[in-house]
């Protein structure tokens, strides 16, 4: 009976993670005595959902002879539709906050729904990096492209768990505060699951190197955000996913 109970809780964690990270409509009865942050371990599994769905049109288009740049653009677009562009929005908000003169003003800028020049520049540059790497991976074959695409999806979302564990939210509002910080065990499960799935899905030992650089980038990003904002909020977690994905793509593209 305990096994069945654990399975039900794990299923609810997966549903909660999907509700947090995607726009897939669902209603769940999450236990009141279980912290939402416990669902961080399932973030890599949501990566499989997002990347798996968005890979389908990519495979079809690539096999049909569509140019690799266009294939990568379609995959990125479909993934953004599934997530509601939340990671992209987080990156843009973080970049816009560079215009603030102190932590309070930076957080206020990030609450503005409008996107500024810094946000546009950061978003375009990171998407160009991701798109260029995807195009290069596509030239190496559909298996290489999809393997790297799936690996980046699970690893980058594991980095979100690492980031959320490393630094507290900067204030008492927003996503990061409402979800809470995962404990060490939850974070380690997310990292282990992300790495294991990335190796299995990509079939490439370059995943180890990519994961190492992603962890390094996550710590550097976290230290910078902590100094800049006084902690890691939801936008910071979204930016972590985008930036770590770019790092992973770059490593996988040179293999």
Are 27 and 86 a contacting pair, CB within 8 Å? no
163-168's contacts with Cβ under 8 Å and 24+ in sequence apart are 163/218, 163/221, 163/222, 163/232, 163/236, 163/237, 163/240, 164/37, 164/40, 164/232, 164/237, 165/40, 166/218, 166/219, 166/222, 166/232, 167/222, 167/225, 167/226, 167/231, 167/232, 168/231, 168/232
State whether residue 102 is helix, strand or coil: coil
Q: What is the pTM of this model?
A: 0.93
Query: C-alpha dihedral over 58, 59, 63, 68, to 10 degrees?
Result: 40
Q: Which two tokens stand for residue 131?
A: 């798109």
Question: How confident is the model at residue 30, as a pLDDT?
Answer: 81
Q: What pLDDT was estimated at residue 214? A: 97
pLDDT at 134: 97
How confident is the chain (255 residues) per 10-residue block, as mean pLDDT?
A: 74 92 85 86 97 97 96 98 96 93 90 90 97 96 96 98 94 82 96 97 93 97 93 94 98 89
pLDDT at 172: 81
For the chain, the structural domain boundaries read: 43-253
| pLDDT confidence of residue 171 | 84
Helices (H), the chain: 2-21, 43-63, 68-83, 86-96, 103-110, 117-139, 142-166, 174-179, 184-202, 206-229, 234-253
For residue 1, the model assigns a pLDDT of 54
């Amino acid at each position: 009976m305990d096994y069945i109970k654990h399975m039900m809780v794990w299923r609810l964690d997966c549903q909660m993670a999907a509700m947090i990270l995607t726009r897939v409509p669902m209603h769940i009865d999450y236990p009141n005595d279980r912290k939402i942050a416990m669902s961080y371990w399932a973030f890599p599994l949501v990566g499989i959902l997002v990347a798996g769905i968005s890979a389908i049109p990519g495979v079809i288009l690539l096999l049909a002879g569509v140019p690799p740049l266009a294939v990568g653009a379609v995959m990125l677009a479909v993934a953004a539709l599934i997530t509601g562009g939340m990671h992209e929005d987080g990156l843009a908000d973080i970049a816009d906050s560079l215009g603030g003169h102190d932590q309070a003003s930076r957080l206020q800028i990030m609450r503005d729904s409008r996107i500024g020049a810094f946000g546009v520049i950061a978003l375009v540059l990171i998407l160009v990096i991701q798109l260029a790497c995807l195009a290069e991976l596509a030239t190496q074959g559909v298996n290489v492209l999809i393997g790297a695409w799936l690996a980046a999806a699970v690893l980058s979302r594991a980095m979100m768990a690492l980031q959320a564990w490393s630094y507290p939210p900067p204030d008492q509002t927003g996503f990061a505060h409402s979800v809470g910080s995962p404990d060490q065990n939850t974070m380690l499960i997310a990292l282990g699951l992300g790495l294991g799935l990335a190796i299995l899905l990509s079939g490439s030992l370059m995943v180890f190197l990519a994961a190492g650089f992603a962890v390094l980038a996550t710590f550097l990003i976290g230290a910078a955000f902590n100094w800049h904002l006084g902690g890691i909020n939801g936008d910071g977690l979204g930016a972590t996913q985008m930036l770590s994905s770019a790092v992973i793509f770059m490593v996988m593209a040179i293999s």
